[in-house]
Chain A
Amino acid sequence: SQKIEQNSEALNIQEGKTATLTCNYTNYSPAYLQWYRQDPGRGPVFLLLIRENEKEKRKERLKVTFDTTLKQSLFHITASQPADSATYLCALDLYSGNTPLVFGKGTRLSVIA
């Protein structure tokens, strides 16, 4: 069966450290993989997109890797801050854009000062 899993439901990390979140999938062949941030009571907000032929993408303190052999994406936040506390969702885009996304359940990140 097809599955998309994010490694843990919750992750606590000390301020200033690097947070690493994992997204694994089985029986999918996504064209793109996307990461979103969701704050309590709000809709998800798009952060980064990485294509199947890209290994790594960076945006400010964020870095995403995509390994289609392992069927895994890693999402890193360097120099984490309490304001980074939120739920982070990974999503698969199976058909190269403008098709419905398949979302993981999310990882709730808490950055402790």
Chain B
Amino acid sequence: DAGITQSPRHKVTETGTPVTLRCHQTENHRYMYWYRQDPGHGLRLIHYSYGVKDTDKGEVSDGYSVSRSKTEDFLLTLESATSSQTSVYFCAISAPGQGGEQFFGPGTRLTVL
């Protein structure tokens, strides 16, 4: 795996609680992405970042916020978790000038009860 870690790898939480997922990279890549993967839907983009403090929304951003204060860290926050946010979350990175191929982290399995 290309220097990307995600924490935690597994989390069970209750509806209404805040949750923060962390993505950490050691590749110094500029672009970072958060996706969720659900059966029947495939991978869908939540938010992405094109630089420190520069972020934008994706297809399924409602209920999620992100922050990027350092190149290496991209945080995804669920302000008040709901059962519909039970999913597997993947972080990805890409580097300029390399055709846009993305490198994915190992994923975080989140269960909201």
Contact = CB atoms under 8 A, between A and B. Distances in A.
A96 B103 CA distance: 17
B90 A100 contact: no
A1 B58 CA distance: 17
Contacts, number: 62
Interface residues of B, number: 30
Interface string A20-59: 0000000000001010000001111110010000000000
Given A42-B107, A98-B50, A89 B43 contact: yes
Interface in A58-93: 89, 91, 93
Contacts of B44: 103
Given A43-B90, A43-B106, A103 B97 contact: no
A103 B42 contact: yes
Contact of A43 (B98, B99, B101, B104): B104
- Chain A's interface size range is 20 to 34
Nearest to A94: B100
B41 A105 contact: yes
Given A43-B106, A100-B58, A105 B100 contact: no
Interface in B74-113: 90, 92, 94-107
B106 A42 contact: yes
B62 interface: no
Nearest to B47: A100
A42 B50 CA distance: 24
